């Protein structure tokens, strides 16, 4: 019998449905066996993972690389991903954004091509085009992009790139015909604008601790509910991004009916941090929507358990401290970096502190995002799937520091935080890309993902 390339043995395999002692056989970048090693052909390389967990590689559908509001290239961002156990990610290709300038003539296809051209990722990557302009030409681009394997699109209801609800509804109608996914940043623009001015004028308004009041939970809930209703009216697949609050989760749940076509995520930082963080870290912790209350964190976990929220992502936004600090909170850039720390942080708060099961962690960070965004070979440990695997020590305790960042970001909101659970090795299609936090493969190993129209049935 022919030999296979590699077998990972001596570990505990975690799938979306079960946890069991077993081995994983790999050949030509694909998983060819899971279970009793004695049933496998002999392997060229046998790796004993010494009692650690073997997880599917994390699939992160919400990152910002090589574009607007990001200082990470594909090389640096995907190095951070690999060190953190993320083996596939989706990032944003902004209509009209080209190397630091906005181009009024730029198309969605131009944005996608800019990302494909010259990228050297370490892990596998794809893009969500971001619609920034309301035009018939934009709508006419959608079928060609879906045919090209780009099957999800991002829109905003607030800030300078906001779109009207009327146009968002028309986008959903086109996406419904195509089977593609619409994902929307939902905060009510007018409420946020008026509340920001009011908070700035308040006696305590200059404190970063006042920032959450400028983008309140009801602004998020109002927009989340309205946009989800537009999607339901069009019978389109809708994915609500970075849900932060009990109010927003309830608004999404109210529209879900059977849940098949309305889905939503939260992000690691919304499960691990609260608004108190602004008092401690100031502008470094500013992202939009803001961090919320401990009650909101509890509610998010309730909604992760009942399926209203089905994915945990990072919303990785790599920025330097000098774009965050040195001025009032309303001048700070939005976003925090977390690709490298998301799995250890979420493991610590969800599994260690709240008793979430390991299969549930795999569903939220691996299987569900892969299924949601048309990646059938990702996020699972089964024969025929890509051999994207993470060796994870659930018992190792260590302290997070930005000194170990592979991202270009020069700080971490988790600086000095001690967690239990550490990524030991990361494999992408059977190739070891990160070992003990060090990158051991060359940029360019990652591939640009062509995605299927996802089946949400």
Question: What secondary structure letter does DSSP report for 202?
Answer: S
Rounded to an integer, the average pLDDT of 63-67 is: 95
The alpha carbon of residue 393 and the mean position of all alpha carbons in its chain are separated, in whole angstroms, by 22
Residue 95 pLDDT exceeds 60: yes
Instruction: List 260's β-bridge partners, or say none.
Output: none
Classify 233 as helix, strand or coil: helix
Residue 318 included in any domain: yes
pLDDT at res. 118? 79
DSSP H/E element including 107: none
Over residues 120-142, mean pLDDT: 97
pLDDT digits (tens, 9 = 90+) for 261-317: 999 999 999 999 999 999 999 999 999 999 999 999 999 999 999 999 999 999 999
The better pLDDT of the pair 259, 223 is held by 223
Scan for tokens 């395999």, then name that residue. Answer: 13
Q: Is residue 78 part of a domain?
A: yes
- Beta strand extents in 28-163 (DSSP E only): 30-35, 43-48, 53-56, 58-63, 86-94, 97-98, 101-102, 124-130, 152-156
State the pLDDT confidence band at 259, using cuts at 50, 70 and 90. confident
- Residue 287 is assigned to a structural domain of this protein: yes
Tell me: cis bond preceding 289? Omega within 30 of 0 counts: yes
The answer to the question of residue 390 being in a domain is: no
Measure the CA–CA gap between 452 and 319, rounded to whole angstroms.
32
Structural contact between residues 220 and 187, judged by C-beta atoms closer than 8 angstroms: yes
Report yes or no on 224 lying in a domain: yes
Mean pLDDT of the chain: 97
Residue 252 lies in a domain: yes
With contact defined as beta carbons under 8 Å apart, do 69 and 335 qualify?
A: yes
Q: Is the pLDDT of residue 414 over 60?
A: yes
CA–CA dist 117, 331 (Å, integer): 33
Order the strands of the 58-63 sheet from edge to edge.
Answer: 58-63, 86-94, 124-130, 152-156, 181-185, 237-240, 262-267, 311-313
* pLDDT value of residue 172: 98
Structural domain range at position 300: 57-372
Segment (H or E) for 23: strand 19-27
Continuous segment of H or E residues that includes residue 391 = strand 389-399
**CB-based contact 223:240 (threshold 8 Å):** no
For residue 260, give the CATH number of its domain.
Answer: 3.20.20.140
Q: CA 386 to CA 380: how far, in whole Å?
A: 8
Inter-residue contact 30 to 387 (CB < 8 Å): yes
pLDDT digits (tens, 9 = 90+) for 172-227: 999 999 999 999 999 999 999 999 999 999 999 999 999 999 999 999 999 999 99
Lookup: tokens for 96? 């009209």
Confidence of residue 323 (pLDDT cuts 50, 70, 90): very high
- The answer to whether position 37 is within a domain reads no
Residue 129 CA to residue 145 CA, distance in Å, equals: 9
State pTM to two decimals: 0.98
Residue 1 has pLDDT above 60, yes or no: no
Number of domains composing the chain? 1
- For the stretch 164-170, contacts whose Cβ atoms lie closer than 8 Å and that sit 24 or more positions apart, written own/partner, are 164/134, 165/226, 165/227, 165/230, 167/134, 168/227, 168/230, 169/230, 169/233, 169/234, 170/139
Is 204 contained in some domain? yes
Query: Whole-angstrom Cα distance, residue 75 to residue 73?
Result: 5
**How far apart are alpha carbons 23 and 419 in whole angstroms?**
27
């Amino acid at each position: 019998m022919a030999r296979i390339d590699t077998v990972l043995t001596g570990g505990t395999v975690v799938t979306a449905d079960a946890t069991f002692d077993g081995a994983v056989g790999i050949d030509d970048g694909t998983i060819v066996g899971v279970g009793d090693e004695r049933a496998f052909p002999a392997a060229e390389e046998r790796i004993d993972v010494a009692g650690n967990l073997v997880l599917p590689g994390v699939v992160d559908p919400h990152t910002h690389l090589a574009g607007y509001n990001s200082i990470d290239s594909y090389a640096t961002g995907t190095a951070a991903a690999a060190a953190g156990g993320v083996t596939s990610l989706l990032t944003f290709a902004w209509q009209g954004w080209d190397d630091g300038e906005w181009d009024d003539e730029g198309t969605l296809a131009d944005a996608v091509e800019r990302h494909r051209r010259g990228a050297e990722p370490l892990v596998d990557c794809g893009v969500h085009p971001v619609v920034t302009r309301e035009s018939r030409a934009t709508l006419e681009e959608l079928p060609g992009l879906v045919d090209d394997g780009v099957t999800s699109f991002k829109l905003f209801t607030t800030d300078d790139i906001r779109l009207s609800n009327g146009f968002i509804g028309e986008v959903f109608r086109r996406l419904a015909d195509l089977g593609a996914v619409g994902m929307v940043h939902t905060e009510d623009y007018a409420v946020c604008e008026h509340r920001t001015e009011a908070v700035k004028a308040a006696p305590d308004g200059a404190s970063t601790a006042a920032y959450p009041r400028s983008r309140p939970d009801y602004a998020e809930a109002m927009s989340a509910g309205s946009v989800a209703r537009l999607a339901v009216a069009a019978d389109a697949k809708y994915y609500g991004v970075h849900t932060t609050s009990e109010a927003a989760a309830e608004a999404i749940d109210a529209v879900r009916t059977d849940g098949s076509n309305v889905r939503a995520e939260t992000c690691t930082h919304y499960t691990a941090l609260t608004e108190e963080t602004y008092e401690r870290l100031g502008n470094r912790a500013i992202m939009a929507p803001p961090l919320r209350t401990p009650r909101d964190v509890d509610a998010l976990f309730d909604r992760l358990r009942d399926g209203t929220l089905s994915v945990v992502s990072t919303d990785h936004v790599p920025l330097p401290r000098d774009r965050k600090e040195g001025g009032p909170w309303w001048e700070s850039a939005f976003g925090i970096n977390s690709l490298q720390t998301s799995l250890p942080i979420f493991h610590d708060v969800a599994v260690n502190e709240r008793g979430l099961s390991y299969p549930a962690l795999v569903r939220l960070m691996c299987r569900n995002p892969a299924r949601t965004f048309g990646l059938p070979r990702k996020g699972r440990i089964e024969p025929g799937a890509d051999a994207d695997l993470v060796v994870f020590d659930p018992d190792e305790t260590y302290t997070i520091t930005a000194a170990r960042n592979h991202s270009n970001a020069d700080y971490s909101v988790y600086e000095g935080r001690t967690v239990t659970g550490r990524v030991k090795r990361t494999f992408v299609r059977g190739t070891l890309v990160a070992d003990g936090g060090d990158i051991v493969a060359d940029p360019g190993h990652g591939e640009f993902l062509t995605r299927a129209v996802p089946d949400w049935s």
